[in-house]
Structure 1
Amino acid sequence: MSNGNCNDEWDHNGADGNDIEEEDGFYVSHHDHDQDEDDLLIGDNEDGGESNEAIREQCLTILSTRDAIMEPGVFDLLKRYSQCGGSPEEVVELLSENYVGLAQSANLLIQWLRVAGVSGDEINGIIEDYLKNVVKRHFDPRKADSIFEETGTTPTWLEEMIVRPTWRELFYELAEQYPNCLMMKFTIQLIADAGYQSEITSASTASQQIDVFSHILKTAVRKLFSDGEDGISSHLPEFAKMACHSQHTLLYSLSMLQNLAQSSVHAAKAKRVIEELQRIAPDKSAEAMSWIMHLSSVAAYPRVFGALTSMLSREVASAGDVTVLYKEYSSGDPPPVEFIQTPTIMNLLVDFLFKLKQVKPEHRHKYIYLLAYGASVYERWENGYRTALHREELHATQLALDRTQFTLQKATQSKSDVLSDLTDLYNNMRYPIVCLSVTCWCEATVKNPNILSVTTDSVPLELALLDEVSIRHCLLHSQVQKLLVDLLTVNLANMDVHQQLKLRRTVMDRLVHLFFCGHVQPVLSYIYHSLLSQSLDLSLIRHFVSEVLEMIREPFSNDIISLLLPIVENEDLVEPLKTSPQTSLTLTRFLRICSKSQKS
């Protein structure tokens, strides 16, 4: 590392290991210019290459620098100067005149801080933070790499530095800024080997070296698998960010998870994480999953392998690929069902059937069969052999999907034509795959503003179906909320203001219903942040608060209070609510309960 030149204040860089010493737990500098310690040791004159006069001039130049007497190699320099006939009086005068005592001044300042009551840890932190900034400002990757070229071994000072969290943090920042620096790569490897790999949170830093990335990946997987469902939910975003840093890191991560899914006691969790990664990063995971298929048992089924890789690469369920899969899975000895149970393949089938696309009649039953097969069939395998194939639910699921797709296709043309079919549609929604398909259809429908603008129903069919989805399947709550939020913020310029407000109020009622169905915290969090950002009309939030206060009963969790209390304490929001005696009463009751809860 290059040393910074400090002219006005104590600005000493301890990166080279020779200019910082530790006194009573504090780092004190004895180095104050850009010249390295080696500059203080003038080369020998054994070959007669330099005259005594030239050596004396070089010595005098170095001894004339500020605080030269504080340099570690000053005694060797004085000895060399004396051997070449230098004048002791001149040396004493130079060292005296150029002595400033910056290091001693720093030590004096430390003593004053102690007297003033500043703790030792705080003083040490101030000094380390200052030195960090100096190193970052003057760091030169070429000079840093030269350290290893000259020594060939790990410097002792580097091993001492990585023990302290402050310096490890510095190395992480430098490695991020200079990814091609050999010294930084080596240091990150050294930190990982020392057991601090869990601190390396930057994927770009870790991905530079396979060993470091493997360390971090294994640690992250342990976190995911150790805490059950809560562990996956809390650690998955961080894990996905690291795994999806690039296609290389994603392929490596998926390969390891695929291996765990085939041979580990955590097979189910590994499959779950693979599916979540595909959902979070569909653009990157599609190509990566095609490579993963080369590593899995699907390669033993060439026709299935070809059809699946084609669907993944083109991101569409073409009739040709679906026909191949239909023939394979409708045979007497079908391939493993897990090949088509991946979220990517299932979503391609759902999209093709329910996102307002015209499906050719001769191929429609093939799409429905494959979707029903993937949703309802399950198998048992032992030692690589299938011991059971359960297809009891296949026909019923297939029939439900067929009727639902036919009904929704009619609803796209005219909603009045499907009123007589709603009872059958609601009955079919007991199947999760049907609810997912209905949600997909609703999403495709409401994204067309023209469809919303011509609706005359008090509650559009799409919103009524979403209510039923919220009641039946809690795993689709997040998807329903996202769709409702999109509806609240969609541009409805082709509708008059009164119609817009009426429609959005109806959508807000669906959010209240979703809240009632158990999706409490995410809905409250959205309303809270909408109030802060003023992204929703106050009348809509006021309507939500009024409905929720009528609905809820004590006891309230701290999370609910922390989200709902700031909303009801907004005077601009709740003042109109006080005009209603009933709403005012529920508001007062909620505030009283919150007050008791906070006191206790």
Structure 2
Amino acid sequence: MEEARAVLKKKDAILEHPSMLAEAIDCIRYNNPQSGHNEAEELLVESYQGAIEFLFELGTWLTYIDEDAQSTRNIIESVVKEAILQNYDRSKAITCLTDEASADTMEWLSQMVESPTWRQTIYNLAQHPRNEDCPFLSLSMPCIAVKESLIGELVSVPLAWNTLGIFLKCVIYVLQPLLAAGDTVKDQTFMYSIAFLQPKRNNASCTNYSSVSHSEMSMVNSESLPSIDDVKGFVSAVDNEHQPYSSEGESHFSFDTAQDMLTHFLEMGCHSEHGYLLLQSILQCLARKMKSHCAHHLIWLLEAEASRRGRDVSRYTTYLCGARDYPDSMDAMRIILKEQDLIPDAVLLLEEAYKGDASPPVALLRQPIFIALLADALFASSDRLLTEQLEQYAYLYSYAAVVVEEIEPTTERRISCIRTEVDEAKREVLEASRICRQWNNMSGSGISLRAFRDLPSLLRCLSCRPVSLGVFRFVRVVFHTKRVDFELNMDTMKPYCIVVNELAEVNEYLRPALLAFITELLASSVEGMEDLSQLEYKRMLVGLLVHLLSCGHVLPVINTMHRLFLRNRVDVSIVRHFVTEVLKVAGQPYATFFMNALHPLVVHPDISDGLKGGKDTDYVNEFLEYYEKENSPSPSY
């Protein structure tokens, strides 16, 4: 009886489901035959608020204002949407899923998801932590996924991925543009990810091994590194005006679409353990059937991102790389990946296995965390290592980089294994490692003389791709840890600048990472450095950017500087210096994309006013005259 009265006392109870009202009224009449009918009527009248009718009348009035009907609808929907987001109660929403109400719920829910506004409302609710397992919102996802055209919206809604069918549809939607983007983009993106990957070492995991010095690496810990989302910002602007890459014919997917999908791909893979395993299994199948390396690069990218987020995926990584016939090697690699440290016994076991005739697949070595650990130990560390350790690390590092294997796709049997370049790569790695480790231990005024003496040897080694990756990680540590030496004597910075410039020359795939690294330095404040020293320091960084631009990385460099300027991350004088230096190295005729990118910086009042009276005015005037000539309307005859 009291429950029936409570139903009729709700605000606007008359708008509740008819069967619910009928049941409550019958209950009151049955328990109170004499006045039950009047009581039910009075309760319904008292609870009536007229909210729906009020909104209807309000909407009718709004149609008489100057706005069109759609604008009126948008206003009302916006207000209702805000109210829903603020007052949504998942416990009350579950009442829509009772046996009696489920049929009606599915009917109005199917109509509701037709509207973009209400779908967005559902997405906003689903992404709130308190609603991550809400049954009503989970039910909404299949209703949306019925339409294939709406799958693109669900790739950013984690709640939808809990349903296997929807997850697979989202995987297909995301992978198509990524696989069609081609190897070039994947190489850039993968190299960027590995270049900044910072293993989280366990100090207690090994007492005999001296890991990369924490005093050096504290300035470049994983929290300060560019996230994988930044790949989109640093790689998206390419010099060929966003032409789609495809290694297997024409593709209707644009490069920008592939970059947009990259973030969704990584989020889906790292959302849950079963999602990671499923996505990696799909990519492994694709990698065996595709001729290009796109799927392999996506596998490594996902592994790197999972490691960056602190997920232990070592057992899946070692199992899926085709080394199941080598359990000892798998266990050794799994220990290294789990601890994120170069465990001596495990490294020794791997070296012996890969020096044997029946070596495990090279894919077992090509793990992002393992590569980063080796690169740091060989190049970025100043700690002492035994000769045996250096030999082991250099061999495994070189083996992973240069060995070429041919695998039978169906049986996963190795057909051939070419190791001819391992010894040469190892010599290059050891020579570059020796120089980097010596530079790391030098300080004071003597650093410049010693560095210039070793510089030619180091530059010759940079054409070896594994060396270039390790040296990049080395110079990034140096620029963070030797700022005091740079302040005392800027000449000590010049050898490292020469190395950075050479990296940009010889390894095009490192250019996005170099741009991110230089930008990080340029936008950061240098505490304790005198103003004049800081100005000279940042001018030298601008020189690195200009050289990177001259290597062909044009639009990303200009767009990055423009973004820093608009966000007040760099001083105006630095931007002026950048503009003049760029115009010095760029000659006529200017490419259209170059002019359109640089022109907003040149004509900005804060920049142009300082350029007009400077000694480099001629370069600026020539550029502006050429721009006006190219963009002036052609005379009509």
Counterpart of 2:619 in structure 1 is 586
Q: Post-superposition shift, 1:131?
A: 3.7
- Find the aligned partners of 1:490 and 1:138 in 2 and give their Cα distance: 42
Matches within 5 A, 1:296-307: 296-307=321-332
The 8 Å contact of residues 485 and 492 in structure 2, kept in 1 or not, is answered as no
Q: Are residue 505 (structure 1) and residue 505 (structure 2) matched?
A: no
**Larger RCO, structures 1/2 (Cα 8 Å, 6+ apart):** 2
Preserved CA contact (<8 Å) 1:161 1:168 = yes
Contact preservation (8 Å) 1:247, 1:284:
no
What TM-score does the superposition give when structure 2 sets the normalisation length?
0.76
Q: Is the 8 A contact 1:251 1:292 kept in 2?
A: no
Is 1:416 the counterpart of 2:449? The answer is yes
C-alpha contact (below 8 Å) 1:298/1:305 kept by paired residues: yes
Match of 1:475 in 2: 509
Contact 1:243–1:249 at 8 Å: present in 2 too? yes
- Alignment partner of 1:186 is 2:139: yes
Question: Which of 314, 336, 347 is the matching residue for 1:311?
Answer: 336
For 1:143, which of 86, 89, 92 is the aligned residue? Answer: 92
Distance of aligned partners of 1:400 and 1:170 in 2 relative to their CA distance in 1, 3 Å threshold: same
Task: Report the Cα offset of residue 559 of structure 1.
Answer: 5.2
1:67-92 CA-to-partner distances (Å, cap 9, x unmatched) read 88x99xxxxxxxxxxxxxxxxxxxxx
Q: Retained in 2: the 8 A contact 1:203–1:242?
A: no
Q: CA deviation at 1:306?
A: 1.4
- Aligned residue runs from structure 1 range 148-297, under 5 A: 148-151=97-100, 152-153=102-103, 155-177=106-128, 178-195=131-148, 196-228=150-182, 229=185, 230=255, 232-246=258-272, 249-262=275-288, 264-265=289-290, 268-284=293-309, 287-297=312-322
CA change 1:290–1:52 in 2 (3 A) is: same
Shift of 1:249: 4.0
Change (3 A) 1:455 1:552: same
2:336 is the alignment partner of 1:387: no
Residues 327-336 or 423-432, more deviating = 423-432
AA matched with 1:387: I
Cα shift readout 1:272-328 (whole Å, capped 9, x = no counterpart): 112223344533376124333234422321121112111111112233222111101
> What residue identity is the alignment partner of 1:429?
L
Which runs of structure 2 are paired with 1:363-512 in the superposition (5 Å)? 363-382=389-408, 383-412=411-440, 413=442, 414-417=447-450, 419-448=452-481, 449-455=483-489, 457=491, 460-489=494-523, 492-493=526-527, 495-512=529-546
Q: Distance in 2 between matches of 1:493 and 1:139?
A: 48
Tell me the distance in 2 between the aligned counterparts of 1:63 and 1:503: 78
| 1:392 Cα deviation after fit | 2.0
1:403-453 C-alpha deviation (Å, 9 max, x unpaired): 222222333335534544433322222211122222222122222134434
Q: What is the CA distance between 1:476 and its match in structure 2?
A: 0.9
Q: Does the 8 Å contact 1:400/1:428 carry over to 2?
A: yes
Deviation of residue 391 (structure 1)? 1.7
| 2:29 and 2:35 in contact (8 A); partners too | no
Please point out which of 32, 35, 38 is paired with 1:50. 32
Q: What is the CA distance between 1:352 and its match in structure 2? A: 0.8
CA distance in 2: counterparts of 1:523 and 1:46, whole angstroms = 76
Q: Secondary structure at the match of 1:52?
A: coil
Give the letter aligned to residue 144 of structure 1. A
Q: State the shift of 1:254 in Å.
A: 2.8
Per the alignment, residue 607 of structure 2 pairs with 573
1:361 to 376, 387, 394: 387
1:112 aligns to 2:146 (yes or no): no
Structure-1 separation of matches of 2:621 and 2:293: 48
Listed one character per residue, the Cα deviations across residues 145-171 of structure 1 (whole Å, up to 9, x for unaligned) are 122213244532222222232222222
384-393 or 152-161, larger mean C-alpha shift: 152-161
Q: Does the alignment pair 1:59 with 2:41?
A: yes
- CA distance in 2: counterparts of 1:493 and 1:147, whole angstroms: 60
- Secondary structure at the aligned position of 2:407 is classed as strand
Provide the aligned length of Structure 1 versus Structure 2. 535
> Contact (CA 8 Å) 2:448, 2:491: kept in 1 or not?
no
Aligned twin of 1:21: none
CA contact 1:308–1:321 (8 Å) conserved in 2: yes
Distance 2:513 2:63 in 1: 61
CA shift, 1:353, in A, is 0.7
Cα shift readout 1:503-535 (whole Å, capped 9, x = no counterpart): 322222111111111122222122212222322
Distance of aligned partners of 1:495 and 1:223 in 2 relative to their CA distance in 1, 3 Å threshold: closer
Mean CA deviation greater in 167-176 or 376-385 = 167-176
The two structures, once aligned, show a CA RMSD in angstroms of: 3.1
Whichever residue aligns with residue 141 of structure 2, its letter is: I
| CA distance in 2: counterparts of 1:327 and 1:343, whole angstroms | 21
Distance 1:555 1:186 in 2: 60
SS of the residue corresponding to residue 389 of structure 1 reads strand
Cα distance in structure 1, aligned partners of 2:327 and 2:577: 58
**Partner amino acid, structure 1, of 2:403:** V
Could you tell me how far 1:472 is from its partner in structure 2? Answer: 1.0
Q: Identical aligned pairs, as a percentage?
A: 23
Which residue identity does 2:264 align to in structure 1? E
Q: Identify which of 315, 331, 339 aligns with 2:356.
A: 331
* Inter-CA distance 484–47: structure 2 relative to 1 (3 Å threshold): closer
Alignment CA distance shift 1:321-1:163 (3 Å): same
Q: Which residue of 2 aligns with 1:86?
A: none
What is the distance in 1 between the residues matched to 2:506 and 2:567? 32
List runs of 5+ in structure 2 lacking aligned partners.
1-10, 186-254
Contact 1:376 1:391 in 2 (8 A): yes
Q: CA deviation at 1:367?
A: 1.0
- Amino acid across the alignment from 1:182: P
Identify unmatched segments of 5+ residues in structure 1.
1-30, 72-100
| 2:405 aligned counterpart, secondary structure | strand
Deviations 1:169-204 (A, max 9, x none): 222223334233211111112212343232124343
The structure with more radius of gyration: 1
The alpha-carbon deviation at position 132 of structure 1 amounts to 3.0
Helix, strand or coil for the counterpart of 1:44? Answer: helix
Deviation per CA, 1:253-282: give whole Å up to 9, x if none: 3343234324x3277212111222334453
1:109 Cα offset (Å): 2.5
